[in-house]
Structures are given as structure tokens and as C-alpha cells.
């Protein structure tokens, strides 16, 4: 499915043979018409479709394509449109090079697979706006590559045609196996002028979430500009350590039809005299880019200062840039001291009672906490039938489009990972958690919380302190209320278990357990999200001071919860960006939710004080209060619900009893102390750190 070498050579040389070509720039974010395609769009065709052209589609306005006016087009289910009224075949094979007069939204051997959810496996069109500024959009929704399945690989993309000229190719959402690729770009009627994105015909499938804010947009313009040099990107780090020599870096792009050979790059900081760097002997062709680092370094001297860097390009050899508007680019550099706070790493697992592979997620979390006991785990239930799904958790799942089980590590988008939720393959959760523990963070987070059952109200207090300067941004505080053990039976509670008796996994801890696992102890389950889905703005000035504690208090009521036994508070600070790929967690922490009056806390009046001291090193204790004589079973369980230590099993008299726990036989990690007294039960977490 690849273009022939001769075709590639012909197309790459076409810029020299013609005074016109397409130039393109890349941007990101929501396209207003594409984001609203559900409203008022027309269905062209739906699944199942395999190698079929649509009926002729009449454009709502004349459109200038490659210098010619066109009035309609065919849609190919293989990811392109052609203005060639004589076309008869939907070409799946882009090695032939026979498609002309076309825009390749994504030319690959695609099809629309039947039997999948509503609003998928379709091609739709929509026209929006008023003349003479209308936009016409063609959108492929969940097209599937040949040989793949919808659940593993699909792509949604759109082509937007503008009445004023030019077009966009927008990647809306996608899931890939990492090996899929195709062609993106355009070709004129006789095949003599073509512009393809770098890597085409092996342009990789993008991994894009369902959030429109992270859509990838390529804007194409038909240009007869001979000379147009542009600075299109600033590559200098946005944050640098004070008194550190830093290279001012960026990207030069040729948006003209003739090569760029000689030019001068300038930069100035906060309006200071310009520094220059001569560049000669280049041969930068149309649409090619060159990343540069200026040979004069910049050393910032003021900590906590936001420097403005202005970069400029000027052509040599007496040539005049025909489009000077893109010759300059401004960026900012913020300086810090480099003083880090103690790091805690937030690990948010996407899981579900319905998910048969998710028991292995619990195994991986146990391994992770043994390696990094100070990690902060949260198990977000979403997806299928599950009684523990919160609206906020479901919304996060829609935003990050995870598979199950996957985990977000500080909500970071790591290099080499397709999205923010990452696979557990190869101990990736543990590896990425270790990387984050080693990361610098300018903020510490501490949290405390209490709930008063008699008043049915509680309050969470989150303290944020900065150890270093932070650049201007939208910093937010987030809070989960998390129950360390949720155990009930029935649909939505019992854990589906694909490892049960599975001969491929004979040594897996869940191999001997049934499917489903009834009365399964679900760990780290959020029962409430306090504040907005993406957090609330921090209670601090625009420029926070180092060493000053900024406190955010969050009040809450009982709601649908019958009690807040065995509940902890997880608080974390994020830097909120426009895209879900740019909303990292800077630091996190957790603490037990304290119950301020114990009268009537449970039907029997049973109460269990926290294990002290924690983390547990050797011998620790917890205080158990019984209102009456009861048969008591007290034990310590690991993250998989396996009993590790038996503390008491027999009748205890009313009053307060000390439960002694010897932790020498326990590995580092999180455990649960659970006490069953008659028909009632209470539990509290135990962190072991030798």
C-alpha cells in the first residue's frame, strides 16, 4: 500500500517545475464545525462499506482547488475525496499512484465496519457559516484499517473546505497498534503537483483522544509565493534554571516555492540588542523545516522572571521575503531556582468490575506499591456495568479514552506513549512511577479531612506550599474521597476474572479464583470527586511566594453515602492546559478522613482507630472499641484481598482493645487491617515501609 519510488521522485521534484504549490502549517485544538458534526450533518454512507465511492456530492459553493474551480466530489471510504468527475473506483492501494485531483484526509486501505456503536463507522458532511465565508466538512467517523478490528484500531478525521480558498485536514480521534500508516496531503489534476505530510506514504496513524481540544490540524494553502521564510516554532525550554546558559532554539520553515539557501537568524530578550547567526549553504525545499539552535547563548540572571524572547529571520543574497508577516516569533522563558519539594506520585488506574483483565491491574498496583510505598493509588471505575462508577470518573474516561486496565501516572503524556493512560506491559506502571518520583516539583501538598456523622457534613483542607518560583499558569487543586475496600455481591460488584482456570496464566494469583469473584474487595475506589472535574483554581496570588502556605478548604455533605468508614482523602495539584495531554499532576498526597464523633458510627457502635505509627516499620498498634461482647475476627489483608496476618479470632469483652501488628513478615506496601465483629465490620489502611 505504498507509493512507487518513481511517483515519490516525481512528486518531490514537482516544486521546481511549477510556480505554485501547497504550503501547510500545523496547529491544534478544536475545529468549531468538526466539533459540532453531530448537529445538522448529513449521512453520506454508513457501515458496512468496502472500497466504494459515494454518489457525486455537489459543493454548496465553488471551490478553488490547485488553481481550478471545482463544484463537486466523490468520497472514498479509503480516506480521501476526489474532484475527478470521471472516477469510478475507490482505490485502497496507494502504491498505484492513480488517484489525482484529490485531497487525502488519510489514504489507506480503510473500511467501515458493521456492528459497532452508534455514531461510528460513517461518513458525514456539513456546511456551516454564511457566504462568502462558508465551510464545508467531510468527516470519516471510526474508519477501520484493513486487517484490523474496530476495538483495536480505528481513526476519525475530517477535511474542511473553505469558500475563501484553502483546506484543512483534521485528526479527531484515533487508536492504533503502532504500525499503521498512510498518505496525507493533496495532488492536482494531472499529478504534477503534490504536497504530502512528511513520512507519507508511511505517515503514522495519530493517537488522538476524543477531546476536541487535542485535535491535530493541518492547514493547506495554494501558494504562488516564490520566497517565504518563516519561523514556525519556538523550541527553547519554557522553564530554565537561573544563571544557566541556554540556547535560543526554533524551527525555520520554507513556505515558498523556491529553496532557501542563505539567511540570518536574530534574537533579542526583553528588548535587548539583537544577537545574530549567519546561515549559508542550506537547500531547504518547499514545506521543509530546519530546527536551529542559535550559536549565541542566553544566560538569565533573575530568578522568578518571565523573559520575552523575540526571534527573527532575514533572507540573504538581496532576496526579499514576499510574506514578512511570519518572519518573527515571540516566546517566553521563565527562570527558577531548581529547588524541589518531596515528590508523591499519583497513580490513577482505569478499571471495572465488568473487565475480565482488570484483576491483573490490582496485581500490578500491589507490585507498584511494594516498589514505591509512597505512591498514591486511585482506581477509577468506568466503562461497562459497574456499580462504582462516578460521573466524574466516567467523564475522565471519555476524555482520556483508555483501554482497561490502564493507568495514568501523574496524568503525564510520556514520550513514546500513545496517550496519557498507559499499558501495564513490561512493568510500565512501575517504571513510569519511578521516573516521576525522580522528577523535580516546585510544590508540596498536604491534606487533612474530617467528617462529623451527627451533622452529616465534612471539610477537606489542602495546604499547598511552593519551594520554588512557578511560571504563570492555571494551577488547580483536585480532591478524591477514596474508599480502601468496597465489598458487595451481585452484578456491578462481583469482579469478572478472565484468569480463572486460564491455561495461559497458570501462575497468576487469580488463576485459582472463580469467574466472577464474588464479594471481591475493590481497593482504592473513589466515592466522591470534590470540586470540578478538572479541579478548582488554587487559592493563591498570581505570583505565589516561596515558603508561604496557601490553604484551600472544601466542604461536603453526606450525599448518598451511608458512612465514611475506611475513607481517605487524595489531594493533588495540576497545571491545567488546553489539551488533556497537557494537564500534569505536579504533586499529590493522601490522608485518612477522620471521623470526629464516634457515637452511632455503625449499627453496633464499633470503631477502629488508625494504625500508629505509620509507615509501619516493626511493631505497630491500632485501638479497637467494642460496645458489647462480640466474636471478633481481626486480620491484615494485602491488595489482592489475601489474608496475611491473623490478629484475633474469638470473643472480646466491651471496651477498648489494642491490636498489636508485627510487620516483619510483610513486604513493603499497602495493606488493610479489617475487623469483623458480629454482623459489623470496620477497616483501616496499613502502610509498611521497612
Q: Where are the beta strands (DSSP E) in 353-435?
A: 376-381, 406-409
The mean pLDDT of 441-449, rounded to a whole number, is 95
pLDDT at 353 over 70: yes
Helix axes 359-371, 428-437, angle to 10 degrees: 30
Tell me, yes or no, whether 452 and 484 share the same domain: yes
The mean pLDDT of 644-652, rounded to a whole number, is 90
Looking at the structure of the chain, the number of domains it has is 4
Q: Which residue has the higher pLDDT, 162 or 38?
A: 162
| Residue 42 burial (10 A CB sphere; 0-12, 13-18, 19+) | exposed
The 3-class secondary structure across 569-599, one letter per residue, is EEEEEEEECCCHHHCCEEEEEEEEEEECCCC
- pLDDT tens figures, 243-299: 999 999 999 999 998 999 999 999 999 999 999 999 999 999 989 999 999 999 999
Report pTM: 0.72
Tell me, yes or no, whether 567 and 629 share the same domain: no
The verdict on residue 204 lying in a domain is yes
| pLDDT of the residue at 563 | 77
Query: Cα separations (Å) of 304 from 347, 473, 544?
Result: 30, 13, 10
97: left (phi over 0), alpha (psi -120 to 50) or beta: left
> Using an 8 Å Cβ cutoff, are 483 and 525 in contact?
yes
**CA–CA separation, 627 and 605 (whole Å):** 6
| pLDDT of the residue at 119 | 58
Q: Which residue has the higher pLDDT, 578 or 444?
A: 444
> Which residue, 308, 106, 283, is CA-closest to 204?
106
Extract the C-alpha cell encoding 595: 471521623
Extract the C-alpha cell encoding 397: 474516561
- Phi, psi torsion values for 122, nearest 5 degrees: -135, 165
| pLDDT of the residue at 452 | 79
Strand partners, 65: 68
Extract the C-alpha cell encoding 11: 512528486
Using the 8-state DSSP alphabet, how is residue 304 labeled?
A: T
**CA–CA separation, 235 and 256 (whole Å):** 22
The verdict on residue 156 lying in a domain is yes
Extract the C-alpha cell encoding 538: 488554587
What does pLDDT average to over the chain? 89
Tell me, yes or no, whether 216 and 249 share the same domain: no
Q: Which residue has the higher pLDDT, 595 or 270?
A: 270
The verdict on residue 602 lying in a domain is no
The mean pLDDT of 359-382, rounded to a whole number, is 95
Extract the C-alpha cell encoding 449: 479531612
| pLDDT of the residue at 610 | 67
| pLDDT of the residue at 154 | 84
- pLDDT tens figures, 284-340: 998 999 999 999 999 999 999 999 999 999 998 788 999 999 999 999 999 999 999
Tell me, yes or no, whether 127 and 242 share the same domain: no
Tell me, yes or no, whether 168 and 137 share the same domain: yes
Q: Which residue has the higher pLDDT, 678 or 482?
A: 482
463: left (phi over 0), alpha (psi -120 to 50) or beta: beta
In this structure, the number of other CB atoms found within 10 A of the CB of residue 289 comes to 14
Query: Cα separations (Å) of 646 from 74, 563, 634, 637, 673?
Result: 72, 26, 6, 9, 10
Tell me, yes or no, whether 177 and 278 share the same domain: no
- pLDDT tens figures, 550-566: 999 999 998 888 778 77
In this structure, of 3-12, 185-194, 306-315, 571-580, the range with the lowest mean pLDDT score is: 3-12
The verdict on residue 601 lying in a domain is no
**pLDDT band, residue 207 (cuts 50/70/90):** confident
| Residue 376 burial (10 A CB sphere; 0-12, 13-18, 19+) | buried
Tell me, yes or no, whether 640 and 501 share the same domain: no
Domain stops at, among 316, 336, 356: 336
In this structure, the number of other CB atoms found within 10 A of the CB of residue 352 comes to 26
pLDDT at 41 over 50: yes
The verdict on residue 183 lying in a domain is yes
The verdict on residue 380 lying in a domain is yes
| pLDDT of the residue at 114 | 79
| Largest pairwise CA distance in the chain | 98
The verdict on residue 341 lying in a domain is no
CATH of the domain at 292: 2.60.40.10
Tell me, yes or no, whether 591 and 543 share the same domain: yes
**pLDDT band, residue 116 (cuts 50/70/90):** low
| pLDDT of the residue at 13 | 37
Tell me, yes or no, whether 436 and 548 share the same domain: yes
| Cis peptide upstream of residue 404 (ω within 30 degrees of 0) | no
Query: Cα separations (Å) of 129 from 137, 147, 162, 163?
Result: 11, 39, 10, 10
The mean pLDDT of 373-389, rounded to a whole number, is 95
**CA–CA separation, 335 and 330 (whole Å):** 17
- pLDDT tens figures, 596-631: 654 334 445 678 876 777 778 788 888 888 888 888
Tell me, yes or no, whether 295 and 319 share the same domain: yes
| pLDDT of the residue at 1 | 35
**pLDDT band, residue 135 (cuts 50/70/90):** very high
**CA–CA separation, 592 and 614 (whole Å):** 12
pLDDT at 12 over 60: no
The mean pLDDT of 20-25, rounded to a whole number, is 90
The mean pLDDT of 508-526, rounded to a whole number, is 93
| pLDDT of the residue at 617 | 79
Domain stops at, among 336, 366, 387: 336
The verdict on residue 600 lying in a domain is no
Residue with cell 537561573: 242
Residue with cell 505509620: 614
**CA–CA separation, 144 and 79 (whole Å):** 10
pLDDT at 497 over 90: yes
Domain stops at, among 223, 247, 276: 223
- pLDDT tens figures, 61-111: 999 999 999 999 999 999 999 999 999 999 998 877 789 999 999 999 998
Query: Cα separations (Å) of 288 from 198, 230, 373?
Result: 9, 11, 49
Extract the C-alpha cell encoding 116: 459497532
In this structure, the number of other CB atoms found within 10 A of the CB of residue 551 comes to 14
**CA–CA separation, 201 and 130 (whole Å):** 36
| pLDDT of the residue at 19 | 65
Print the domain residue range for 627. 607-688
**pLDDT band, residue 656 (cuts 50/70/90):** confident
pLDDT at 668 over 70: yes
- pLDDT tens figures, 400-416: 888 899 999 999 999 87
Tell me, yes or no, whether 250 and 193 share the same domain: no
| pLDDT of the residue at 68 | 93
Tell me, yes or no, whether 92 and 150 share the same domain: yes
Reported residue count of the chain is 690
Q: Alpha-carbon dihedral of residues 570, 571, 573, 577, nearest 10 degrees? A: 60
Amino acid at each position: 500500500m505504498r507509493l512507487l519510488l518513481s511517483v515519490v521522485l516525481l512528486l518531490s521534484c514537482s516544486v521546481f517545475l511549477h510556480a505554485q504549490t501547497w504550503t501547510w502549517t500545523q496547529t491544534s485544538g478544536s475545529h468549531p464545525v468538526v466539533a459540532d458534526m453531530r448537529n445538522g450533518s448529513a449521512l453520506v454512507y454508513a457501515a458496512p462499506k468496502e472500497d466504494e465511492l459515494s454518489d457525486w456530492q455537489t459543493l454548496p459553493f465553488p471551490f478553488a482547488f490547485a488553481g481550478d474551480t471545482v463544484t463537486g466530489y466523490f468520497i472514498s471510504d479509503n480516506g480521501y475525496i476526489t474532484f475527478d468527475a470521471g472516477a469510478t473506483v475507490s482505490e485502497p492501494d496507494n502504491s498505484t499512484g492513480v488517484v489525482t485531483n484529490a485531497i487525502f484526509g488519510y489514504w489507506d486501505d480503510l473500511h467501515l465496519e458493521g456492528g459497532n456503536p452508534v455514531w461510528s463507522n460513517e461518513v458525514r458532511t456539513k456546511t456551516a457559516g454564511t457566504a462568502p465565508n462558508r465551510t464545508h466538512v467531510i468527516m470519516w467517523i471510526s474508519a477501520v484499517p484493513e486487517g484490523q478490528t474496530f476495538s483495536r484500531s480505528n481513526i476519525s478525521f475530517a477535511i474542511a473546505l473553505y469558500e475563501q480558498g484553502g483546506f484543512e485536514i483534521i485528526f479527531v480521534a484515533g487508536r492504533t497498534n503502532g504500525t499503521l500508516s498512510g498518505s496525507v496531503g493533496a495532488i492536482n489534476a494531472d499529478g504534477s503537483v503534490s504536497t504530502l505530510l512528511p513520512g507519507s506514504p508511511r505517515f503514522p496513524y495519530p493517537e488522538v483522544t476524543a477531546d476536541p481540544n487535542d485535535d491535530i490540524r493541518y492547514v493547506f494553502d495554494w501558494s504562488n509565493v516564490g520566497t517565504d521564510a518563516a519561523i514556525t516554532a519556538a523550541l527553547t525550554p519554557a522553564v530554565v534554571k537561573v544563571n544557566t546558559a541556554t540556547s535560543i532554539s526554533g524551527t525555520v520553515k520554507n513556505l515558498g516555492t523556491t529553496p532557501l539557501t542563505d539567511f540570518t537568524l536574530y534574537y533579542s530578550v526583553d528588548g535587548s540588542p539583537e544577537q545574530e547567526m549567519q546561515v549559508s549553504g542550506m537547500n531547504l525545499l518547499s514545506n521543509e523545516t530546519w530546527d536551529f539552535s542559535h550559536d549565541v547563548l542566553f544566560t538569565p540572571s533573575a530568578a522568578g522572571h518571565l523573559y520575552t524572547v523575540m526571534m527573527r529571520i532575514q533572507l540573504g543574497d538581496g532576496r526579499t521575503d514576499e510574506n514578512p508577516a511570519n518572519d518573527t516569533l515571540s516566546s517566553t522563558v521563565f527562570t527558577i531556582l531548581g529547588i524541589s519539594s518531596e515528590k508523591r506520585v499519583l497513580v490513577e488506574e482505569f478499571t471495572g468490575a465488568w473487565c475480565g483483565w482488570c484483576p491483573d491491574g490490582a496485581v500490578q498496583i500491589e507490585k507498584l506499591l511494594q516498589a514505591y510505598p509512597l505512591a498514591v493509588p486511585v482506581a477509577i471505575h468506568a466503562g461497562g456495568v459497574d456499580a462504582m462508577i462516578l460521573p466524574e470518573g466516567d467523564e475522565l474516561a471519555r476524555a482520556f479514552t483508555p483501554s482497561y486496565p490502564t493507568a495514568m501516572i501523574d496524568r503525564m503524556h510520556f514520550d513514546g506513549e500513545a496517550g496519557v493512560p498507559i499499558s501495564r506491559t513490561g512493568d510500565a506502571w512501575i517504571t513510569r512511577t519511578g521516573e516521576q518520583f525522580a522528577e523535580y516539583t516546585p510544590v508540596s501538598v498536604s491534606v487533612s479531612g474530617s467528617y462529623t456523622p451527627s451533622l452529616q457534613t465534612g471539610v477537606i483542607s489542602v495546604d499547598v506550599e511552593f519551594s520554588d518560583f512557578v511560571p504563570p499558569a492555571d494551577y488547580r487543586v483536585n480532591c478524591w474521597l477514596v474508599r480502601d475496600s468496597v465489598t458487595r455481591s451481585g452484578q456491578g460488584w462481583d469482579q469478572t476474572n478472565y484468569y480463572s482456570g486460564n491455561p495461559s496464566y497458570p501462575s497468576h494469583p487469580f488463576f485459582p479464583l472463580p469467574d466472577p469473584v464474588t464479594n471481591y474487595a475493590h481497593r482504592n475506589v473513589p466515592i466522591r470527586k470534590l470540586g470540578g472535574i478538572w479541579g478548582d483554581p488554587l487559592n493563591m496570588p498570581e505570583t505565589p511566594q516561596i515558603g508561604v502556605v496557601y490553604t484551600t478548604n472544601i466542604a461536603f455533605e453526606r450525599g448518598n453515602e451511608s458512612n465514611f468508614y475506611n475513607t481517605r482523602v487524595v489531594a493533588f495539584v495540576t497545571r491545567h492546559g488546553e489539551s488533556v495531554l497537557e494537564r500534569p499532576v505536579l504533586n499529590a498526597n493522601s490522608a485518612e478522613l477522620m471521623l470526629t464523633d464516634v457515637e452511632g458510627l455503625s449499627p453496633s457502635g464499633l470503631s477502629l482507630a488508625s494504625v500508629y505509627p505509620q509507615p509501619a516499620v516493626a511493631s505497630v498498634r491500632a485501638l479497637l472499641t467494642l460496645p458489647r461482647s462480640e466474636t471478633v475476627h481481626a486480620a491484615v489483608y494485602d491488595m489482592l484481598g489475601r489474608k496475611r496476618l491473623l490478629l484475633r479470632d474469638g470473643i472480646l469483652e466491651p471496651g477498648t482493645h489494642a491490636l498489636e501488628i508485627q510487620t516483619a513478615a510483610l513486604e513493603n506496601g499497602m495493606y488493610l487491617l479489617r475487623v469483623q465483629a458480629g454482623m459489623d465490620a470496620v477497616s483501616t489502611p496499613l502502610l509498611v515501609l521497612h
